[in-house]
Amino acid sequence: MASLQEQLLKAGLVDKNKARQANKDRQKQNRMVRKSGASADHRSENLARQEQEKKRARDRKLNQQKQEASRQKAMAAQVKQLIEDNCMDRDQGEIAYSFIYKNKVKRILVTTELKNQLTLGHLAIVTYLLNSQRKFEIVPAAVADKIAGRNADAVVHLNKEDAVDENDPYAAFQVPDDLTW
């Protein structure tokens, strides 16, 4: 059985040029259908790839947040350990030593020797949380520097020898050592 095109050629209804042109048009349409179908698959692959990239980016961000949280937790544990290992004994304290913590005046009881050491900057006052309560302890200045390297907010009070400001109007007035407030 001959194709419709061959039958039309035999009947003389269509010439060879028109038949060839019809074949070319049909082939072009087939190519376009194949291309559009392939591009639809390609588009879906691109969308899937983009979704995977978005998921990877979210996962990386969550992983960084988890790592940061664990690093913060480890730093807090290190600070607490440094404080507990190096805190000075204040059981015999009879003198109230005042310092400022978050715009509030706090007091701890110290001995005369500890007060002198705090004033000279050999000791520092640090803070940490213990069972949801804020604790203040006295540690050597070298330990306070290590603590400040891990958490600067943990060091509450450390007297350091600062350079004198030339413009300070009160530079000529010395603060008495026995002043308590």
* pLDDT tens per residue across span 66-91: 999 999 889 888 888 888 888 888 77
> What is the crossing angle of helices 4-11 and 16-86, to 10°?
160
138-163 per-position pLDDT tens digit: 898 888 888 888 888 888 877 776 54
pLDDT interval class at 120 (50, 70, 90): confident
What pTM was computed for the model? 0.55
Q: Where are the domains of the chain?
A: 1-85, 87-158
Could you write out the DSSP letters of every residue in 137-165? EEEEHHHHHHHHHH-GGGEEEE---PPPP
What is the pLDDT at residue 101? 84
